[in-house]
Amino acid sequence: MTRRELLDGIVKGCMIASLIDAPSVFEGGMAMAQETEKKNAQAGPAYSGMNQIKPLRFDPTKLKGLSEKLIVSHHQNNYSGAVRRLNQIQQQIGSLPKDAPPYQMGSLKREEIVATNSMILHEFYFDNLGGDGKASGTISNLISSHYGSAGTWEQDFRRTGMSLGGGSGWVILNYNYRDSVVHNYWAADHTNSLAWGVPLLVMDMYEHAYAIDYGANASGYIDAFFQNINWDEVNRRAEAVQRR
Amino acid sequence: MTRRELLDGIVKGCMIASLIDAPSVFEGGMAMAQETEKKNAQAGPAYSGMNQIKPLRFDPTKLKGLSEKLIVSHHQNNYSGAVRRLNQIQQQIGSLPKDAPPYQMGSLKREEIVATNSMILHEFYFDNLGGDGKASGTISNLISSHYGSAGTWEQDFRRTGMSLGGGSGWVILNYNYRDSVVHNYWAADHTNSLAWGVPLLVMDMYEHAYAIDYGANASGYIDAFFQNINWDEVNRRAEAVQRR
Amino acid sequence: MTRRELLDGIVKGCMIASLIDAPSVFEGGMAMAQETEKKNAQAGPAYSGMNQIKPLRFDPTKLKGLSEKLIVSHHQNNYSGAVRRLNQIQQQIGSLPKDAPPYQMGSLKREEIVATNSMILHEFYFDNLGGDGKASGTISNLISSHYGSAGTWEQDFRRTGMSLGGGSGWVILNYNYRDSVVHNYWAADHTNSLAWGVPLLVMDMYEHAYAIDYGANASGYIDAFFQNINWDEVNRRAEAVQRR
Amino acid sequence: MTRRELLDGIVKGCMIASLIDAPSVFEGGMAMAQETEKKNAQAGPAYSGMNQIKPLRFDPTKLKGLSEKLIVSHHQNNYSGAVRRLNQIQQQIGSLPKDAPPYQMGSLKREEIVATNSMILHEFYFDNLGGDGKASGTISNLISSHYGSAGTWEQDFRRTGMSLGGGSGWVILNYNYRDSVVHNYWAADHTNSLAWGVPLLVMDMYEHAYAIDYGANASGYIDAFFQNINWDEVNRRAEAVQRR
């Protein structure tokens, strides 16, 4: 497959995507994709905008206390929208004129990290849902030894979530490579993230994660989140970290 | 060594640190460390605040176009200050009263991620200085294949830096685990960072990284940075990623 | 009335507030208010935390396309919560020990501007709802002459809103004192705001402003917002600016 | 003068500006200005990008402890750069295609508020320098009555500044219209600002405000700032607020 064929594929993929679920917004990106195809053909995947949307791995009708409507809207609009937007942004960065003022580069790069982290964190979030909420194994040991007890850790995680209620953000239990300790980190928007580590458990605190079901009741949402944690997935992540 | 002995050691270490180079600022943290010792003794390393300052690995008198005065001030004040501050913050989080309002938790957690990333990114930055500026090997291959050419990559990296000139931030060449592609990411402050990846090459764009030598001439600083990149270190990071 | 009596009143007011609608969150602040009463008695209103909650000026059952449930939740939880939190924060700043590390001051000051702007912008927002959505008079003239046409202005305002959909923020039509021109400004959180001007029309784009009624359909919410704008209030604001 | 003539003047002004002091950066904006002239001709001053650079009102060789080199670099690079950039951004917003994706609008609007506030705050900052540092009159009365004492206020202002040392931001003594009280507000970047008030005293804490003279010694800079405050200007601002 030549690069030309690859890029033809991308443009066609964009067209199909735009026909399916985001036509009006996507038109601008479509025109852009075609115009800049020639330019990006000389570049590599950093500018190709080829990120794919990942489907939910669990049945959205089966969560406890989180409705199908909420989960499907969250996945189709907020997550999928971030992936599509990221693809547009990467193509636009790759085709920015050489004499464009620096602020244009900066503003696009900011949009890129916003959309990239939104994509990544949503994928971790959805993938750590769909379980029975019962922690055990590697992650339980890490939490207990690094926070003193599972209860102390859970209180810290929940309070960090509550501090974000009514606004936006994420709570991320990360394995921090600097000190080899797990920490619950606060993020007030998609850009805030540990610089060197691996997310183990991710809780979305944007209001789109709960307002449809819980209104302003962030605490009720956090309870529901805990009941649906897929600790097997969290353990897979923790074990992958320890194997490296 | 019992946990009690360990914590005694931390408090004594704090006292020594405070005697050496940050007495006035550190007093509050010292009092705090002592008061909360008992409480933190029941918790683990997530709240212990035991991060150590790492020395420079290169001779700061030997860089091309970056003065000893600049580098030493950067390391002693900005980097070391972040490590000391982080230790205070982690202890304070561990001793926050259970009935404290949520905003208190949120504000401390924000300070924690600010100081954590400042520590981490400064360590990557200093460690990728002290070289001869000549790229080769694994990282050259990654850059060329993901950006189309080394020139395209370098232009992208420099322009991202220029968009941050006169302000604050970082340019970070990350290996992104989501798409297995290297990308130059923009960060306007310490909190902005890729959610899932590994920093390969880090350039500090806070004005403390260059104003002493270059004033407002961010472009001159970026030239000097490129001349001093330790590509061997960057290659070690890239190869570690590929081995995992 | 002595300052002592005034502060007794504040503490009692806090107690009443805590009994009514935020007991668990408020307890920490209550203890703090009492402990620090003596200290704040020597200071002035900058630290007194005496901001009052303002009631809705319109009947929340009468808006077009925005439910009573949504509006009342928004007012009671998001807006009123910000006022209560601000009062706690101001008292805490006033009682911060002199030897506290600088990051503690910075983090509280950040919380203060977040809560202050949340209070102010929510008040402007609610006060510019409850109307018939028909613009005329001073504001129509300002908009047309500064944007070329009312249509151009409205498109700019709506697109700025759409850029914030699925996240957080505000769209604020400000009178900018620097150039004496009205501009639609973007704000991604409560802290982003024009440094020298007066808000004329404020649209909340936090998801709590619409998700209960519209889910992820930000565009539907913006349509409803426009139908309910109280342009008489906007004109009062614009005329006050021009009189000064 | 027709609008056509006015816009011809703008484009010529841009050309002259680009010849004088920012040629390489400005070229992109120049091409843009010409292409979009026709479109902006139908719009008003919100998109015209006509902000002018204001000269220093004091002799930069005469400040105590702040060098001419520092002040002139700050004015020519950081402040003037913001004004020129703002003009480009406003023109670009005015010419954004109707079908551009929402993120493009959002990213330009973000750049607009960053540059607008940088322009405004720098103007307030320079204008409140060049004095003898001795406070009296209206502002002294406001400070004492709202903070309890001048000493309490100054400590609060200085500590807020110290919390920003080594990073970016502003300390702004604002008259807050909501409570009719003066407050020292923290800003970590140009976008953070009180939503409804008037700046009375502004201190730049970006490192470009001091690193050339003071390196990492933020405390030394704050001392120098206080020695040069033009309290007559601060009083003019305070009295204008009280007259309205």
Q: Is C51's CB within 8 Å of D178's CB?
A: yes
Write the CA distances from D89 to A97, D17, D55, D85, D97, integer angstroms. 16, 16, 22, 6, 14
The residue behind tokens 């959205």 is: A60
The answer to whether A109 contacts chain D (CB < 8 Å) is: no
CB contact under 8 A, D163 and C103: yes
Mean pLDDT of A170-179: 98
CB-CB under 8 Å, A108 with D108: no
Measured CA to CA, the distance from residue A183 to residue C243 in angstroms comes to 55
DSSP secondary structure code for residue D77 in this structure: I
pTM to 2 decimals? 0.88
CB B47 within 8 A of CB B77: no
Only one residue has tokens 């720098």, namely D122
Interface test with B, best of A159, A164, A219, A243 (most B CBs within 10 A): A159
Q: Compute CA distances C45 → B27, B36, C181, C221, D143, whole Å.
A: 29, 32, 33, 38, 10
Tell me the per-residue pLDDT of A191-202, one tens digit each, with 9 for 90 and over: 999 999 999 999
**Which pLDDT band, with edges at 50, 70 and 90, does D27 fall under?**
very low
- Looking at residue B229, what DSSP letter applies? B
Give CA–CA dist A97/A110, Å, rounded.
18
Q: Are C230 and C124 in contact (CB under 8 A)?
A: no
Task: Please give, rounded to a whole number of angstroms, the shortest distance from the CA of D169 to a CA of chain A.
Answer: 18
Residues forming a β-bridge with A197: A176, B197
C31 touches chain B (CB under 8 A): yes
CA-based torsion, C127, C133, C138, C142: positive or negative:
positive
pLDDT range class, residue D243, cuts 50, 70, 90: confident
> What pLDDT score was predicted for residue C40?
57
Tell me the average pLDDT across C222-243.
97
Partners of B77 on chain D (C-beta within 8 Å) are 166, 215-216
* B223 C-beta neighbours (distance < 10 Å), count: 14
CB C191 within 8 A of CB C113: yes
Beta bridge partners of C198: C175
Can you tell me the distance from the alpha carbon of A209 to that of A217, in angstroms, rounded to the nearest whole number?
Answer: 11
| Among the ranges given (A83-92, B36-45, B53-62), the one the predictor scored with the smallest mean pLDDT | B36-45
Q: Looking at the partner chain, which of D144, D163, D195 has a beta carbon nearest the beta carbon of C106? A: D163
Residue B40 binned pLDDT confidence (cut-offs 50, 70, 90) = low
Does the pLDDT of residue C1 top 60, yes or no? no
ipTM of this predicted structure: 0.86
Mean pLDDT of D209-237: 98
Quote the pLDDT of residue A50: 96
For residue A40, what pLDDT is reported?
A: 57
How close, in Å, is residue A68 to chain D by CA atoms? 27
Low-confidence winner among A22-26, C53-57, D96-100 (lowest mean pLDDT): A22-26
Per-residue pLDDT tens digits for D38-85: 555 456 899 999 999 999 999 999 999 999 999 999 999 999 999 999
What pLDDT is recorded for position C243? 86
Residue C63 predicted with pLDDT over 90: yes
Residue closest to A163 by CA, chosen among A145, A185, A179:
A185
Burial of B177 per CB tally in 10 Å (0-12, 13-18, 19+): middle
The mean-pLDDT minimum among A118-127, A178-187, B173-182, D23-32 falls in D23-32
Q: What is the pLDDT of residue B132?
A: 98
In angstroms, the separation between the Cα of residue B223 and the nearest Cα of chain A is 16
Distance CA C133, CA C135 (A): 6
Distances, alpha carbon B120 to alpha carbons B135, B172, B190, D164, in Å: 23, 12, 10, 19
Nearest CA in chain D to C149: D43
Distance CA A204, CA A182 (A): 18
* Beta bridge mates, C183: C174
Partner-chain contact A103 D110, CB within 8 Å: no
CA angle, D73 then D79 then D82, to 5°: 130
Whole-number Å distance between alpha carbons of C39 and C33:
10
Q: Identify the three-state secondary structure at position A129.
A: strand
Residues facing residue B199 across a β-bridge: B174
With contact defined as 3+ CB pairs under 8 Å, the chains touching D are A, B, C
Residues of C in contact with D219 (CB under 8 A): none
- From the list B73, B206, B212, which residue is nearest D167 (CB)? B206
Please tell me whether residue C229 adopts helix, strand or coil conformation: strand
Task: Determine the residue among C190, C191, C242 to mutate to test chain D binding: the one whose Cβ has the most chain D Cβ atoms within 10 Å.
Answer: C191
Assign C228 to helix, strand or coil: coil
Q: What is the pLDDT of residues D124-176, one digit of tens each?
A: 999 999 999 999 999 999 999 999 999 999 999 999 999 999 999 999 999 99
Strand runs labelled E in D94-240:
170-176, 181-187, 197-204
Q: How far is B179 from chain A (nearest CA, A)?
A: 7
Q: Measured between alpha carbons, how far is B152 from B146 in angstroms, rounded to an integer?
A: 10
* Residues of B (122-161) whose Cβ lies below 8 Å from D: none
Q: What part of A 39-68 touches B (C-beta under 8 Å)? A: 42-47, 50-51
- Residue B163 in tokens: 């968009």
Q: Report the C-alpha gap between D219 and D216 in whole angstroms.
A: 9
C-alpha dihedral (A143, A147, A149, A150), degrees to nearest 10: -40
Question: In this predicted model, what pLDDT tens digit does every residue of B116-171 receive, in sequence order?
Answer: 999 999 999 999 999 999 999 999 999 999 999 999 999 999 999 999 999 999 99
Please list, residue by residue across C56-74, b when 16 or more beta carbons sit within 10 angstroms of its beta carbon and e when fewer do. bebebeebebbeeebbebb
**What are the Cα distances from residue A108, in Å, to B159, B187, D192?**
11, 12, 21
Q: How far apart are CA C125 and CA C101, in angstroms?
A: 37
Helices (H), chain A: 3-20, 23-35, 37-40, 68-73, 80-94, 102-127, 137-147, 150-163, 211-214, 218-227, 231-243
Q: Within an 8 Å CB–CB cutoff, is residue A196 touching chain D?
A: no
Q: How far is CA D91 from the centre of its chain?
A: 20
Of B97, B111, B115, the CB nearest to C28: B97
Q: How confident is the model at residue A127 (pLDDT cuts 50, 70, 90)?
A: very high
D189 touches chain B (CB under 8 A): yes
Helix ranges restricted to H, C47-149:
68-73, 80-94, 102-127, 137-147
- Tokens standing for residue D132: 């003898």
Please report, as a single letter, which amino acid is at residue B62: K
When pLDDT is cut at 50, 70 and 90, the band that residue D4 belongs to is very low
Q: Which residue of C has its CA nearest to D178?
A: C120
A81 touches chain D (CB under 8 A): no
Does C29 touch chain B if contact means CB atoms closer than 8 Å? Answer: yes
Task: Search chain A and give the residue with CA nearest B141.
Answer: A44
pLDDT tens string C70-92? 999 999 999 999 999 999 999 99
CA distances from A125 to A232, C26, D157 (A): 13, 31, 42
Asked whether residue B1 carries a pLDDT value surpassing 60, the answer given is: no
The pLDDT value given to residue A46: 97
Minimum Cα–Cα distance from B70: chain D residue: D215
Which amino acid belongs to residue D11?
A: V
Q: How far apart are CA B153 and CA D154, in angstroms?
A: 48
CA angle D76, D81, D85 (to 5 degrees): 160
Asked if pLDDT for residue A31 goes beyond 60, the answer is: no
Task: Say yes or no: D176 contacts chain B, CB-CB below 8 A.
Answer: no
Residue C86 contacts residue C112 (beta carbons within 8 Å): yes
User: Which structure tokens are listed for B9?
Assistant: 């050691």
Structure tokens at C232: 């008489």
Q: Which two tokens stand for residue A155?
A: 């209180």
According to DSSP, residue D192 is labeled B
Calculate the CA D23 to chain-centre distance.
23
By the 10 Å C-beta count (0-12 exposed, 13-18 middle, 19+ buried), C92 is classed as buried
Asked if A41 and A94 touch (Cβ cutoff 8 Å), the reply is: no
Residue A185 CB neighbours (<10 A): 23
Q: What is the DSSP letter of C95?
A: T
On average, the pLDDT of chain D sits at 87
Of all residues in chain D, the one with the smallest CA distance to B79 is: D166
Q: Using CA atoms, how far apart are residues D184 and D202, in angstroms rounded to an integer?
A: 9
Does position B88 have pLDDT exceeding 80, yes or no?
A: yes
Which chain B residues touch D73 with a CB distance below 8 Å?
Answer: 215-216
Whether B108 sits inside 8 A of C110 (CB atoms) is no
pLDDT of residue C11: 33
Range B2-6 contact pairs with CB under 8 angstroms and sequence separation of 24 or more: B3/B41, B4/B41
CA distance linking residue C194 with residue C178, whole number of Å: 10
pLDDT tops 50 at residue A172 = yes
